[in-house]
Amino acid sequence: MKLCDGIYSYVWKGIFENNCNMFYFGEPLNILFDPGLKNYVDVRLEDLAKDGVKADDIKYVVNTHCHPDHFEGSEYFMKKNVPVGMHPDEIEFLNTEGPRFFAMFGMPFPKLTFGLTLETGPWKVNGTELEIFHTPGHSPGSISIYWKEKKALVCGDLIFRESVGRVDFPGGSGELLKESIRKMSKLDIEYLLPGHMDIVAGADKVKKNFELIERYYFSMM
């Protein structure tokens, strides 16, 4: 679904589609975020095609973190020589804990070739600047990606609509999650694009969502 000019949103609707939300930033960026599980990449590509985005249009794949439900489908793009990126802390975590983590879900560990490492700070793509934020808590190298021009934040499993990412997986930290949420709450956000549940659209609604999370969830972490 085209959310606004340049931003496409594919919210998870059930187990026969995928297990996370996927987003796409169109021209001039052509970035796919969190392709999900490899068995459903074809479904997601069909969704993109319905919105006029061809598979060959995808120039970069960005993973907010390495949990299988978000990341496993990246192998498809690696085989197509599409640069796949993640934060270096998350790549290190994947290389050390990944095989055990995937085994927890009965999944084989994928063959990996990263074409990008996404460090904290500005990332200029074809003349357009994004901002990469290191937002650990759900996992050690989780990132959030901010498109200031659109006031859009892809935040993975940092924060959801009226909920937050779990911190009981390996590498999780409630304290770090709270710090990361507070940091992101200071941004001017019109579109909060989380890894699960519905998007939050409208600056007032986004602000209220951050306030709700701090009021009702922070004491439990």
Give the tens place of pLDDT for each residue, 177-203: 999 999 999 999 999 999 999 999 999
Predicted TM-score of the model (pTM): 0.96
Distance CA 154, CA 23 (A): 8
Residue 195, SS3 per DSSP: coil
Which of 78, 3, 1, 82 is CA-nearest to residue 38? 78
- Say which DSSP state 7 is in: E
Query: 154-182 pLDDT, tens per residue?
Result: 999 999 999 999 999 999 999 999 999 99
